[in-house]
């Protein structure tokens, strides 16, 4: 223990010694968070953290916040919901951080919501889905582009109906996130009088999807909405390729998790062609805002050293944007008062590298900016191809659109 204290002291001296004179007078502003760096969510967590770190370095290079250096205090939550309550209590009570960022994803975030509400703390959300819907905390702001809960299914069904889709098949994983999507998809379909001709929930250990795809094909659906998890997405697409899905299908995809990550995309290669799926950021011309290109230049370099997702489209720029929003709020309110920052975030539109962000009362986006994009002309085993535009053409939302849906699905596969 003595040795640790000594080492800690020595490191602190080294850090302060190194710091520029601009930061020498005042203690740093500490931003605390947990982040999945091991376990199932680690791939996403590491990319997200790298995005936040790039923001930290950029803001410090500009002189910090309120003239103080920004420091991140980060713990690994091992992708587990049971770790985060203790970590956030420590961040607040022991580390005495000034501001809190949430960990990546729904599962580790959900259990800290009651804590931040009870303590009246600001929490910047990081890609969780509907964690504030029951808690109702008015100091929660999610960086994800989801928007209203049903917009995800609604945007996919908009495209499907425009393409002439009249009935729907639903294939979903028996897992919380996929089931949330399925519930909203059933609701939206009901409101629009779209009959559901096939509705199957498959268990997490399903090995072989040929039988399921045969049954789905026999139902002759126009629209196929799939909410799957990474291990199954590959199995489903492979079976679709082999068994075929029928000429009736106008559009296929919607909520397939995993198809946003470089390793999975490169693994699936040409099997992806024709699939319409959700995404958050893509290298299409409509997605470049002030600073976006500079961010990815830095990310690409640092991702190689950090051994994280080489593309980093899905999470990293939103980590950076989360920092940008805090930066704007602190600079405008000229304080670290969390109520004041929350008020500023709620009442203004924020310029970020992922486009303008405005929040509704529940702390989610006022309007959805979740993309629906179609894979086109993808070759096998080539990560670099995904850096060029045209491989994932944006079909929704209208203001970011870069092309039209190719339909039916079989025609889009070539």
Partner 1 sequence: MFSMDLLLGAVLLGVLLGCFYAAVSVGLSVSFGLLDVPHVAHPAFLVMASYGVYQLNESYDIDPLLAGLAITPLFFLFGLLAYRVYHETFEKRGSDAAVRGIAFFFGIAFIIEVLIILQFGVDQRSVSATYIGKAWRFGEMRIPIRQLVAFAVALALTVLLAVYLSKTFMGRAIRAVAQDEEALRLMGANPVRIKQFAFGIATAVLGIAGALLIIVAPVEPTLDRAYIGRTFCVVVMAGLGSISGTLIAAIILGVAESIVLTLFGASWAPAISFAMLLGVLAVRPQGLLGR
Q: Which residues bind partner 1 (CB under 8 A)?
A: 40, 42-43, 174, 198, 200-208, 210-212, 214-215, 218-219, 230-231, 234-235, 238-239, 241-244, 261, 263-264, 267, 271, 380-381
Shortest distance, CB of residue 309 to partner 1, whole angstroms? 10
6 HSE (CA, 13 A, CB side)? 3
Least distance (Å) between residue 99 CB and partner 1: 30
Instruction: Tell me how far, at minimum, the Cβ of 77 lies from partner 1, in Å.
Output: 16
**Of 202 and 359, which has the nearer Cβ to partner 1?**
202
| Burial label, 286 (beta-carbon count in 10 A; 0-12, 13-18, 19+) | middle
The residue (of 235 and 319) whose beta carbon lies closer to partner 1 is 235
What are the C-alpha distances in Å from 360 to residues 154, 189, 202, 346?
19, 25, 35, 7
- Token representation of residue 402: 């870069």
Contact between 92 and 121 (Cβ < 8 Å): yes
Minimum distance of partner 1 from residue 307's CB (angstroms): 8
As a whole number of angstroms, the distance between CA 325 and CA 302 comes to 23
59 vs 216, which CB is nearer to partner 1? 216
Closest approach of partner 1 to the CB of residue 174, in Å? 6
| Cα distance between residue 404 and residue 159, in whole Å | 10
Residues 52 and 76 sit within 8 Å (Cβ to Cβ): no
| Percentages of the chain per state (helix, strand, coil), in multiples of 5 | 45, 15, 40
If we measure between CA atoms, which residue out of 70, 121, 69 comes closest to residue 93? 121
* 217/350 with CB nearer partner 1: 217
Min dist. Cβ of residue 206 to partner 1 (A): 6
Nearer to partner 1, 42 or 73 (CB): 42
Which two structure tokens, joined as six digits, stand for 53? 């770190």
Between CA 196 and CA 201 the distance in angstroms is: 13
For the bound state, the minimum distance from the C-beta of residue 46 to partner 1, rounded and expressed in Å, comes to 11
49/321 with CB nearer partner 1: 49
Question: Which residue lies nearer to partner 1 by CB, 150 or 199?
Answer: 199
């Amino acid at each position: 223990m003595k040795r640790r204290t000594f080492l800690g002291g020595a490191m602190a001296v080294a850090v302060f010694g190194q710091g520029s004179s601009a930061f020498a007078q005042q203690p740093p502003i500490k931003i605390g968070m947990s982040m999945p760096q091991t376990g199932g969510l680690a791939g996403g967590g590491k990319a997200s953290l790298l995005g936040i770190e790039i923001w930290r370095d950029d803001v410090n290079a500009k002189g910090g916040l309120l003239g103080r250096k920004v420091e991140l205090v980060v713990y690994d939550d091992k992708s587990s919901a049971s770790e985060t309550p203790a970590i956030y209590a420590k961040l607040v009570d022991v580390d005495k951080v000034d501001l809190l960022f949430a960990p990546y994803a729904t599962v580790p975030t959900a259990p800290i919501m009651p804590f931040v509400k009870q303590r009246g703390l600001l929490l910047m959300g990081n890609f969780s889905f509907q964690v504030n819907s029951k808690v109702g905390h008015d100091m929660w702001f999610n960086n994800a582009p989801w928007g209203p809960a049903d917009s995800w299914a609604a945007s996919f069904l908009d495209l499907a109906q425009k393409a002439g889709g009249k009935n729907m098949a639903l294939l979903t994983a028996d897992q919380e996130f996929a089931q949330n999507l399925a519930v909203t998809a059933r609701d939206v379909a009901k409101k629009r009088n779209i009959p559901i001709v096939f509705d199957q929930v498959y268990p997490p250990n399903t090995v072989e999807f040929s039988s399921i795809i045969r049954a789905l094909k026999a139902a002759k659906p126009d629209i196929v909405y799939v909410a799957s998890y990474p291990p199954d997405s590959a199995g489903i697409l492979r079976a679709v390729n082999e068994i075929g899905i029928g000429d009736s299908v106008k559009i296929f995809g919607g909520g397939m998790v995993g198809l946003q990550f470089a390793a999975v995309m490169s693994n699936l290669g040409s099997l992806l062609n024709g699939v319409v799926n959700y995404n958050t950021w893509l290298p299409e011309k409509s997605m470049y805002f002030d600073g976006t290109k500079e961010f990815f230049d830095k990310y690409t370099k640092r991702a190689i050293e950090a051994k994280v997702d080489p593309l980093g489209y899905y999470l990293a720029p939103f980590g950076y944007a989360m920092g940008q929003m805090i930066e704007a709020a602190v600079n405008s309110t000229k304080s670290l008062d969390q109520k004041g920052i929350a008020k500023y975030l709620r009442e203004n539109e924020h310029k970020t590298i992922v486009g303008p962000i405005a929040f509704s009362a529940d702390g989610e986006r006022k309007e959805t900016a979740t993309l629906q994009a179609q894979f086109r002309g993808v070759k096998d085993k080539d990560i670099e191809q995904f850096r060029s535009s045209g491989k994932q053409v944006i079909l929704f939302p209208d203001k970011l659109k870069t092309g039209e849906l190719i339909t039916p699905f079989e025609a889009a596969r070539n």
